[in-house]
Structure formats: C-alpha cells, structure tokens
Amino acid sequence: MEMSVDLCGIRIDNPVIPASGTFGYGYEFAETYDINCLGTFSFKGTTKEPRFGNPTPRIAECTAGMINAVGLQNPGVEAVINEELPKLKTCFDKPVMANVSGFSVEDYAYTCERLDNEEQVGWLEVNVSCPNVHGGGMSFGTDPKSAAEVTRAVKAVTTKPVIIKLSPNVTDIVAIAKACEDAGADGISLINTLLGMRIDLRTKKPVIANKMGGFSGPAIKPVALRMVYQCYEALKIPIIGMGGISCAEDVIEFMLAGATACEVGAQNLVDPMASKKIIDTLPEVMNKYGIDNLKDIIGGAH
C-alpha cells in the first residue's frame, strides 16, 4: 500500500501535514509523539518583524468549529532562523514547510528570501489570506493582481517551491488561483479560514476583542472541498487541501476533489494526536475503499 506523494518535486511519505498556526514550530508536539511520522508540517506564520498579535480574548468556540483572531503572533524571521529552526532540527529530520505572512510585497519578499536559504526549509507557503490582521493579508488574497504581484516578488528571490495559500473570502477563487499559477506559483494551498464572529448574549458584545476572526473546523469542509474541486479543474500545479479535516476519510475525499496533500488545522487544537491518528488509520481506510496507491486517486472525482 503506497501512501507517498510528490509535492512540488519533493517526495513526502504521506499526504498528512499539520497546518500553520496549529502546530507551532513542531518541537512542542514532539514531546507527545515522534513527529517524523508526518508527511511534513507547516510552521507558525512568520513575519519580517516580531508580532505580539491581537488583543485578547482572541479565540471563540462555535458549532462544529472555532474562531481565532490571534493576529500572527510570532518572534519574527530572524528569531525563527536563529532559535526555532535549530530546536526543530533536533526532533524533525524531514524538510519543513515555512509559512510566511506580510503587510507589503517587500515584507513577503524579504522573509521568503531569508527562509529560502535555510537547509531544512523544503517549501515556502505564502499566506496572502489571513483574515484577522488589520490592513494586511486579506487585501492581497482577494484580488488576482495583488496575489500575482506577491507571487512574482517571492519567486524572484527564491529557489524553493512557492505555494500560495489563498483566502476563501472571495467570489471567484479560481481567478485568483489562476493568477498565482500564471505568476509562477508552484502550488496552491486552500482554503484558509472563513471570516466569522460570535456575540456574547450576556454582555451583548462580540466575544472576540477583534470582533471578527478566522472561522475553521469541520463546519467549513464543504466550502473547502468545493474550492479545491473548482481549482483542480483550472490549474496544472498541485493543490494542498485543508478546511475541516479531522479523519482519514476526509483526506481521501479532498484527494478525490484534486488535492495532492492535505493540511490538518483546527483538529490539532482539539486533539494533539490528531495528525498521527489520521496517518495511522489511512491504510485501513484505503483498504476499505480499494485504494492501493494514493497518487492514483488525486482528482479522481472529476
């Protein structure tokens, strides 16, 4: 039974990848299990300068999911290179996916160029879609021209595969994905969180200090699946699917829609063992549905 897939020219043992923001820099989870069982993982969204993030409260639970407005809290790219990556190297011996955010085209290019030089970084996942930071992120990912501009700027200063992570908070996801492919993207990640909110009935005010935040979890899976399916029809580059994945069956479903690999996000916060459990149960689910090789089912629903 073959679970390995080729992601932008790099072979990974299986298609299961913990998503950025839900897995830190890896070593916290390495205390719970051997994270080398993962295909890879996408580390915490990294920006040029350190960021404290948004005011609290910044997490709210909701039916079949959660809302977060953490606001890209991270120590900045220099600290990631000098402190986080050396720590990660002690517990993870595969290429890691570097997730990058920015507030200007120059920010993205600078941070990607710095991380591109790091031996352990295999892919650059460029988040043009964070819906919970004022004045940044979302505007790049909601306009094909802006998304393409970031893609071109990053590709000009890097040698490693560039995967653009897109926002679902748009009317035409295919146009934006296509613009990124035309600008040189090596892959597309979708979807990032939807925009959501909760209101506290006692205080009659929004639960989250930021008012709104990124909505993730099982409730968003049908939207994510639909967008992966639509983009697969239009693109030639690989797609990483994510949005509400919580079991091995979900991974199979996303791959049938057109995903080459899958990221597990909110479920890691519900159960720290989630990604390992999905990998452990994949062979059994493949067997149940008569699948010998995962590569064979990519886009199989088309």
- Whether omega before 57 lies within 30 degrees of 0, making that bond cis, reads yes
| Catalytic residue (one of 130, 180, 231, 262) | 130
Tell whether the torsion through CA atoms of 183, 299, 129 and 143 is positive or negative: positive
Nearest to 14 by CA among 280, 205, 249, 229: 280
Pairing of strands 96-100, 199-200: unpaired
Q: Which helix (H) or strand (E) holds 195?
A: strand 194-196
* CB 258, CB 281: distance < 8 Å: no
Helices (H), the chain: 27-30, 77-79, 85-89, 105-116, 138-141, 144-156, 173-182, 221-234, 248-257, 266-270, 274-288
Residue 7 has a CB neighbour count (10 Å cut-off) of 24
Instruction: Tell me, yes or no, if 247 is annotated catalytic.
Output: no
* CB 122, CB 96: distance < 8 Å: yes
> In the beta sheet, which residues pair with residue 4?
none
**Per DSSP, which regions of 21-144 are E strands?**
59-62, 65-68, 96-100, 121-127
Tell whether the torsion through CA atoms of 100, 124, 188 and 65 is positive or negative: negative
Q: Which residues are catalytic?
A: 130
